[in-house]
Structure 1
Amino acid sequence: MSYLVILLLVSGRMSLCSLIHREYYLIPLAKSWNDAQVYCRENYFDLAVIGDREDLKRLSNTAAAAGVNGQLWIGLKKDGAAVWLWSVGDTQSGHGLVNEYTNWASSPESSHHCGGMRHDGKWLSALCQSELPFVCQGCE
């Protein structure tokens, strides 16, 4: 019984964080997508979720202020059914808690399963083993 309560509390935390103001933290370390996610989960909340243009603007400003002008990891990853999901469990297509906002540079490559962002804010798919800086999000 106590396991169910803990699971519900953890699930509620993820959903609640997706709906409230996100704080972004640029991490200038080069890591694979999976290692970046572990780092974010241990030190903040998770990899960055971008729900609308305002989120994108804040995240882009964070990267620009830190002098990052290349690619970086965000919290998008493709599951086995070729559906892009945010690392917190929401679908990129708007069927979860994140709205239908997308900003793909072009159709994501089917052979690449991890999502990143270019310096201009456009999203891209990349090989998960690539080592890039990344953006974590915290919940306020």
Structure 2
Amino acid sequence: MCVKLNLFIKIIVLKQDSWRAERDNLTSMNSETEARSRTISLERDELKKKLNTLAQPGWRLFTSRAYYISPTKKSWQESRAYCQSVDADLMIINSREEQVFANSFKLHMWIGLTDSETEGTWKWVDGSPLTTSYWGSQEPNGKTEENCGEIKSFTTERSWNDGTCSLQLNWICEMNFAQ
């Protein structure tokens, strides 16, 4: 009888250990699922915010991005602040297609290019270096007086100019959906 009782107790203890391990595993899985759910909810909310922004007048879709063409004028920094307030930034032009697209609005406008950090070293607002450019003839030429990039002459593909950042110009924001 004692042997059977000891065996029964060992079986019960083993079952309890097994149940504890299963409970711990389920608790861990539940925590991971809750964390994933929170992440998905945050991503959903960000997408809703972007969609609400894009529903406003002035936004245009091109490739996998959306662009806002301002109807008003601001300084380069004020323009950038506006773009950032809607989870975008001033436009970064990475291809000939984007350059042609930007020129198509026929506006003298700010883009996301500056050398204000280091004179003569032009960078995009995301910190990436300028590799492909569409500077107009004899540009950039403003030295320390002109540190912000603009589209000045939209009648030619090579339309960029370095302008005084405090000038009041239209601007173009770029919103990337992959972020």
Asked if residue 25 in structure 1 is aligned to residue 64 in structure 2, the reply is no
Q: Partner letter of residue 103 of structure 1?
A: Y
Out of 136, 142, 166, which is 1:129 matched to? 166
- In structure 1, what is the Cα distance between the partners aligned to 2:65 and 2:99? 11
TM-score (norm 1): 0.70
Q: State the secondary structure of the residue aligned to 1:28.
A: coil
Q: Residue 85 of structure 2 corresponds to which residue in structure 1?
A: 42
Deviations 1:62-89 (A, max 9, x none): x14xxx3xx2100001133221111111
Higher helix share: 2
Q: Partner letter of residue 45 of structure 1?
A: A
Q: Partner letter of residue 162 of structure 2?
A: S
Higher strand share: 1
Do the aligned partners of 1:85 and 1:91 also contact (CA within 8 Å) in 2? yes
1:21 Cα shift? Answer: 3.5
Structure whose alpha-carbon radius of gyration is higher: 2
- In structure 2, what is the Cα distance between the partners aligned to 1:90 and 1:78? 12
- In structure 2, what is the Cα distance between the partners aligned to 1:80 and 1:90? 13
1:44 Cα shift? Answer: 4.0
Work out which structure has the larger RCO, using CA pairs closer than 8 Å and 6 or more positions apart in sequence: 1
Q: State the secondary structure of the residue aligned to 2:173.
A: strand
Do the aligned partners of 1:76 and 1:115 also contact (CA within 8 Å) in 2? yes
Give aligned pairs, total. 108
TM-score (norm 2): 0.56
1:60 Cα shift? Answer: 2.0
1:101 Cα shift? Answer: 1.4
- Segments of 5+ residues of structure 2 without an aligned counterpart are 1-62
- Segments of 5+ residues of structure 1 without an aligned counterpart are 1-19, 93-99
Q: Residue 86 of structure 1 corresponds to which residue in structure 2?
A: 124
Deviations 1:21-80 (A, max 9, x none): 33222112110000000000112410000011011112222x14xxx3xx2100001133
> Following superposition of structure 1 onto structure 2, how do residues 100-139 of structure 1 map, counting pairs within 5 Å?
100-105=131-136, 106-108=138-140, 109-110=142-143, 111-118=145-152, 119-120=154-155, 121=157, 122-139=159-176
